[in-house]
Structure 1
Amino acid sequence: MKITLCLLLAGSLMASCSGNNSKNKDTASVGSKDTLQATASDAPPVNMQYCFYHTDGTQGQDTTSVSMLINENKVTGKMSWLPKEKDARKGTLVGTLKENAIKAVWTYGQEGSTDTMTVDFQLRGNALAQKPYQYDAKTGRQFTNEKADYSVIYNMKNCAN
């Protein structure tokens, strides 16, 4: 009888402990940041270098990489679009940071000529989001769709790579 009572008591204690753990896990997950949602607390530390990459294409074969240095509200860096079978765009970024939003001008070279395009980014924890481009058939140029959401998501990577 005492053994059965001890086993029941031990079982109840274990169940209550594991119940507390799941409650702690739920609380921890609520407090963690969702990299797809931006908040004011996502404003980045200043004087830091950040590096991100994004892949797309039918088999993830096209890569865009962004390396940026944030110094107070100034943003400088490099951006490269490296498609598998097309001409690449490589160039520099110069812009400003306000809270977690970055507005920059990308000056890039492609097919022997230089061009510029405004790009809009948003820092989101360990991710970078960008407003997508649109194509203007009249001018033959791409431009940032200012009305769109930040839907192109870049993953953070180690800047040494």
Structure 2
Amino acid sequence: MKKIIPVLMSSGLVLIMLSCKQDKKAGQQTAITKDTLNIRTEKVSVSALKGDYCFMKAENKDTTSVHLTISGDQVKGEMTWQPWEKDGAAGTLSGKLISDNEMEVLYDYTIEGSKQTETKIMKIDQDKLYLKVGELTDPKNNGNLVYKDPSKASYSEVLNSVSCK
């Protein structure tokens, strides 16, 4: 009996120590205090979006492709719109997350040999990228397009997730 008690106590301590492992998915961590076992719940405020994302839309023979890299709240990437047998637009995206899955970026691109910029609002939902489409205006007449009324724009353009190369 005297030999069983230390074995049981050791086994109990091992089980308690194993229960202290952090469960990253649930965001819970078990902590041992002197007399009790307490459970703390910690909320993670970092966006679930991070890393590289690639999307494409092919309609008839026209294609639009977007590559995004998200780090913290910063968004960078490239976007190409290539209509069949016509000049397209290609350029860079830079901006920030404005919610967990929504971002506002500046699309700095060249179209038909001219440089232009355009504000774009996008959101990632599961395996799709939604682009907000609405009336654009150039209030300063300098080639910088912005939404005339962002509240009237809608997420009507959808690109599907593809493998990043």
TM over 0.5: yes
Higher share of residues assigned helix: 1
Deviations 1:79-133 (A, max 9, x none): 0000112211000000101211110000001122210000110111111101114
Hey, what does 1:159 align to over in structure 2? Answer: 164
Hey, what does 1:50 align to over in structure 2? Answer: 53
SS at match of 2:63: strand
CA contact (8 A) 1:133 1:143 kept: no
Across the aligned residues of Structure 1 and Structure 2, the Cα RMSD in angstroms comes to 2.4
| Structure 2: gaps (5+ residues) | 1-46
Cα separation, 1, equivalents of 2:135 and 2:64: 17
SS at match of 1:131: strand
The higher radius of gyration belongs to 2
Higher share of residues assigned strand: 2
Deviation at 1:142, TM superposition (A): 6.4
Alignment: residue pair count: 114
**What pairs with 1:10-159 in structure 2 (closer than 5 Å)?**
44-46=48-50, 48-56=51-59, 60-97=60-97, 98-134=99-135, 143-144=146-147, 146=150, 147-159=152-164
TM-score, normalising length: structure 2:
0.61
Q: Cα distance 1:55–1:134, how it changes in 2: closer, same or farther (>3 A)?
A: farther
Cα separation, 1, equivalents of 2:146 and 2:87: 18
Q: Cα distance 1:62–1:150, how it changes in 2: closer, same or farther (>3 A)?
A: same
SS at match of 2:153: coil
CA contact (8 A) 2:116 2:144 kept: no
Cα separation, 2, equivalents of 1:135 and 1:72: 29
Cα separation, 2, equivalents of 1:141 and 1:116: 5
Q: Percent identity?
A: 34
Q: Cα distance 1:105–1:141, how it changes in 2: closer, same or farther (>3 A)?
A: closer
Which residue identity lines up with residue 49 of structure 2 in the other structure? Answer: P
